[in-house]
Each structure stands twice: as C-alpha cells, then as structure tokens.
Amino acid sequence: MRLRGVMLACALSLLSACAGKDVVTMGAVRAITPGMTYEQVVSKIGKPGRIIGRDERVEGALVPKDGKVVYLWRNKDGSTLTAAFLGGRVSGLGTWGLS
C-alpha cells in the first residue's frame, strides 16, 4: 500500500512539473533564423508544430496560397508562433501574445 502511495506521489509530481511549461518561448523564437529547416526549428522549440490549412484564419491572419507550408505552435495561454516555410526553409515568423 505504501509503495502505491509513493508511485502516485511521483506521478503527480511529474505531471505538475510539466503542466506549466510553455511549448514555445521568446528565447526559442529568437534562436530561429531565416533559412532554417523544419527539423532545425523543432530542435529549437522542442515540439513539432501543426500544419495549418490553406485559407485558415490564425489570429486574424490569412494563410497564403503561394505554396508555403505554415506551421503553428500554441501555448496553453493561447500565445502562438507561426512559421512559414518556402522550399523547406523558414521564410517568415509570426508571434502573438508571447512575452
């Protein structure tokens, strides 16, 4: 019974440590430079992004139809990073709500 309590305490400790961590930070954004590959960006952020569809509105912006692939990372507080890739390389970044 005591072992079960210790295991539960460890599991809760791990969950609480992960709960408040943002997916993307301004420090990670500053480390991303034009020309980086998606894999390099993921290594800076630590998590893969989500491809957003064409004509999808993201924080009021319209995703372009010129062949770019746009990825989105969203924190629990709603702040976001969008990264546009053209030819497999970063061609633009946008943030909303990051501090």
pLDDT of residue 14: 35
Residue 45 falls within a domain, yes or no?
yes
The DSSP secondary-structure symbol of 45 reads: H
pLDDT single digits (tens) 44-92: 999 999 988 554 555 555 555 566 788 999 999 999 999 998 888 999 9
Question: Range of 71's domain?
Answer: 22-96
The residue behind tokens 């305490």 is: 9
Residue 14 lies in a domain: no
pTM for the model: 0.68
pLDDT at 99: 84
Separation between Cα atoms, residue 61 and residue 55, nearest integer Å:
9
- The CATH number that applies at residue 64 is 3.30.1450.10
